[in-house]
Amino acid sequence: MPTASLRLLLVALLAVTLTGGLAACGKKARPETPADATYPRQYPDPQSVD
């Protein structure tokens, strides 16, 4: 049935798009994760801020 193969094609395309988007998102987020390194500088110890 053409509709079944078309649906399969759409699902496969969607899956590739989603995984590609997630991979791109992960690559983008990784270099920015050094936010952990700057965390103490941006937000000092809450007890010392008072």
Average pLDDT over residues 18-41: 58
Secondary structure string (H, E, C) spanning the chain: CHHHHHHHHHHHHHHHHHHHHHHHHHHHHHHHCCHHHHHHHHCCCHHHHC
Structural domain for 22, as ranges: 1-31
How far is Cα 37 from Cα 47, in angstroms, rounded to an integer? 20
Q: Please check whether residue 23 lies inside any domain of the structure.
A: yes
Burial of 23 (0-12, 13-18, 19+ CB in 10 A): exposed
Q: Please check whether residue 20 lies inside any domain of the structure.
A: yes
Q: Please check whether residue 4 lies inside any domain of the structure.
A: yes
Q: Please check whether residue 43 lies inside any domain of the structure.
A: no
Q: Please check whether residue 13 lies inside any domain of the structure.
A: yes
For residue 3, is pLDDT > 80? Answer: yes
Structural domains in the chain (count): 1
Q: Please check whether residue 50 lies inside any domain of the structure.
A: no
For residue 15, is pLDDT > 60? Answer: yes
Question: What pLDDT is recorded for position 9?
Answer: 86
Question: What pLDDT is recorded for position 10?
Answer: 87
Question: What pLDDT is recorded for position 21?
Answer: 66
